Structure formats: structure tokens, C-alpha cells
């Protein structure tokens, strides 16, 4: 069976835990090494990842390339618009061809059905680098960051503020797998995908909507937000207005636990979903979170190649 990583549940809770443990070990083992130098064991030596982008990216693009270098392999970054995919070659045929040429495929695309189709026809692992539905690699980095900062996942109280988007869907999915709780501070009309909520609740996670942003944040261990307008979405004034009460500012953050962490997948829209005082403040771990994209994805790649 080829190991695709389209959502966190493709791996499951035990594998997610194995990946975060592996990431912690490997990150510690390479402290002080030049960033592009391969880890001593170079476990993906000779392997090539094709990284396809149908949307913009800074972190996903750079972190997958660096992850492959550090694992001893290499990456070919492809803009979908300059591939034949961009002028009508089918996803299925693209999957068949790339599977003959490279060892794994990472894709950032819009409709989640596209990545499912790619995975259905690929005979090498396919990894989700963000779709409109989910962003599992981001949440692997988020889990790693939270653990690194001394917080155990079971029972953790996570507060989400803002839009019910792809990043929130993957956080909710992680809650079910890793047994933490999520208060969803999202205005009416902007809720996340209910199938993720139902699955997390069925797995025993306390995932609940709190329309009052203060109630969502009260006593939280981790406060998370993201852009109010995701890539591909229209810039809607009505949506921005609905999001206003959910901005993470110092006053809202003060309702969380005193040692609460602030996470944001980035890019941030400073002054919209988060103020400078919070993102640049003492509770913010967003730069660790960004760096951890490399370390977490190395372990996702090792899992996809059957090494974990």
C-alpha cells in the first residue's frame, strides 16, 4: 500500500505521535549544522520529491525543499501553471507520469478532490501541501511546536479565533486523533467542515463552537488564528466585518492561561486577525512554528516512505 498523506487520519494517532517524536529527535541531533547539510544517516538519499504549486507559498515551498535536503534527497519545485497540467493534461495522467519519474509528490492545490484524484492514480506517496479543505503538514508543525514548548497534547485546551478554514479543519482532525479539545471561536456563517467536527467528537475530543470570543479563549492553553480571507477566496467586506470581534489582541489574549502559547501558520495580516503586540509578544511561538515545518515534514516524508 502506498502511503499518501492527504489528511492526518491517513496516518492515524499512533503514527502522528511517532512522527512528532522522530521530529524532536532529529531536530536535536542536527543543532549547529549548516541548514543545507544532510543528516548523518541521510535516510532519503537518492529520493526525489516533486513539489507542485497551484497557489502561492513561502513556507511550504522552502520547508519541503530543505526537508528533502536534510534527509539526503532532493526536490523539484513545479509551478502548476507552467506544467501541462496547467493547460489541460489530466490529473490522472500527470500522476501516472510523475510516478514513473520521481519518488514522491507534494501538491498545493484548491479543490481537495484534485489531490484525491492524484493519489488515486499515483503509485508513489502524495502529500497534501494545503488544499481548500485541509493543511495537515501545518498541523504536524503546530503539534511539534506545542510539545516542544512543554505542553502535553491529551487534554490540551486549544482556542481557535476567526475563520472556519482549512487550517482549523486539520486542527479539529488532530484533536480527535491526539485527544485534545478545541473551542471554535468563529462567527455564524463561517463554520468549519462539520465532518471533521463529528469525527473528532466521535473520537472523544471536546470540540465545541463558542460564538463569544472571550468564552472561546477563557483558560485556553493555546490560542490560534489565521487569515480571515484564505487564498482563492473573494475579499468580502461583510466577512471582514463579521471577523472583527475575533481579532487576537492583547485584551483577548489576557483571558487565556498566563502561559498560553500563540500560534499562527503565517502569512499574518497584522492588524486584521492578530495585532503586532500579540504576534511579536512573549506568548508568540510563530517563528518556532514556521521553522518546525521543516522538522515535522521530514518525519512526514519518512512516514510516507515507510521508515516510521
Minimum distance between the CB of residue 225 and ligand NVA, rounded to whole angstroms? 10
CA distance 110 to 132: 5
Q: Which does 227 bind (CB under 5 to 8 A by kind): ligand NVA, ligand CP, none?
A: ligand NVA
Residue 166 contacts ligand CP per CB under 6 A: no
**Residues 50 and 74: beta-carbon distance below 8 Å:** no
Residues 128-157 that bind ligand CP (CB under 6 A): 130, 138
Secondary structure E strands in 109-232: 126-128, 157-161, 181-185, 207-209, 222-225
| Among 26, 108, 112, 283, the one annotated catalytic | 108
Nearest to 138 by CA among 175, 176, 171: 171
| Among 22, 142, 226, 297, the one annotated catalytic | 226
| Among 3, 135, 247, 295, the one annotated catalytic | 135
Residue of the chain from 25, 37, 40, 58 that contacts ligand CP (CB under 6 A): 58
CA distance 303 to 284: 29
- Number of residues lying near ligand CP (CB under 6 A): 9
| Among 59, 103, 112, 138, the one annotated catalytic | 138
Sign of the Cα torsion 287, 289, 290, 292 reads positive
Looking up cell 488532530, which residue turns up?
Answer: 174
Active site residue 255: no
Q: Which does 75 bind (CB under 5 to 8 A by kind): ligand NVA, ligand CP, none?
A: none
Give the binding site for ligand NVA (CB under 6 A): 130, 165-167, 226-227, 230-231, 265
Looking up cell 489530466, which residue turns up?
Answer: 90
List the strands of the sheet with 48-53, edge to edge: 74-79, 48-53, 104-108, 126-128
Q: Which is nearer to ligand NVA, 50 or 141 (CB)?
A: 141
- What is the bridge-based pairing of β-strands 157-161 and 222-225? parallel
Residue 295 contacts ligand CP per CB under 6 A: no
Residues 234-273 that bind ligand CP (CB under 6 A): 265-267
Q: Which does 8 bind (CB under 5 to 8 A by kind): ligand NVA, ligand CP, none?
A: none
Please give the positions annotated as active site: 108, 135, 138, 226, 265, 293
Amino acid at each position: 500500500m502506498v502511503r499518501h498523506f492527504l489528511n492526518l487520519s491517513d496516518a492515524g494517532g499512533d503514527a502522528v505521535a511517532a512522527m512528532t517524536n522522530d521530529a524532536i529527535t532529529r531536530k536535536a541531533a542536527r543543532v549547529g549544522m549548516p541548514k543545507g547539510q544532510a543528516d548523518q544517516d541521510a535516510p532519503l538519499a537518492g529520493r526525489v520529491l516533486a513539489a507542485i504549486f497551484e497557489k502561492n507559498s513561502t513556507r511550504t515551498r522552502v520547508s519541503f525543499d530543505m526537508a528533502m535536503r536534510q534527509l539526503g534527497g532532493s526536490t523539484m519545485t513545479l509551478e502548476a501553471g507552467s506544467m501541462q497540467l496547467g493547460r489541460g493534461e489530466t490529473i490522472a495522467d500527470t500522476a501516472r507520469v510523475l510516478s514513473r519519474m520521481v519518488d514522491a509528490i507534494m501538491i498545493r492545490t484548491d479543490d481537495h478532490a484534485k489531490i484525491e484524484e492524484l493519489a488515486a492514480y499515483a503509485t508513489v506517496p502524495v502529500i497534501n501541501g494545503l488544499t481548500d479543505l485541509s493543511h495537515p503538514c501545518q498541523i504536524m508543525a503546530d503539534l511539534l511546536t506545542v510539545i516542544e514548548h512543554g505542553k502535553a497534547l491529551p487534554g490540551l485546551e486549544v482556542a481557535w479565533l476567526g475563520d472556519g478554514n482549512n487550517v482549523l479543519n486539520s486542527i479539529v482532525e488532530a484533536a480527535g486523533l491526539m485527544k485534545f479539545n478545541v473551542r471554535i471561536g468563529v462567527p455564524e456563517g463561517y463554520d468549519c467542515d462539520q465532518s471533521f467536527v463529528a469525527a473528532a467528537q466521535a473520537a472523544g475530543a471536546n470540540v465545541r463552537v463558542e460564538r463569544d470570543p472571550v468564552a472561546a479563549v477563557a483558560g485556553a492553553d493555546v490560542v490560534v488564528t489565521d487569515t480571515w480571507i484564505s487564498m482563492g477566496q473573494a475579499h468580502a467586506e461583510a466577512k471582514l466585518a463579521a471577523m472583527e470581534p475575533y481579532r487576537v489582541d492583547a485584551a483577548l489574549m489576557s483571558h487565556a492561561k498566563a502561559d498560553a502559547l500563540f500560534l499562527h501558520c503565517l502569512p499574518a495580516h497584522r492588524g486584521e486577525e492578530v495585532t503586532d503586540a500579540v504576534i511579536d509578544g512573549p506568548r508568540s511561538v510563530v517563528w518556532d512554528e514556521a521553522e518546525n515545518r521543516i522538522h515535522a515534514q521530514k518525519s512526514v516524508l519518512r512516514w510516507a516512505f515507510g521508515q516510521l
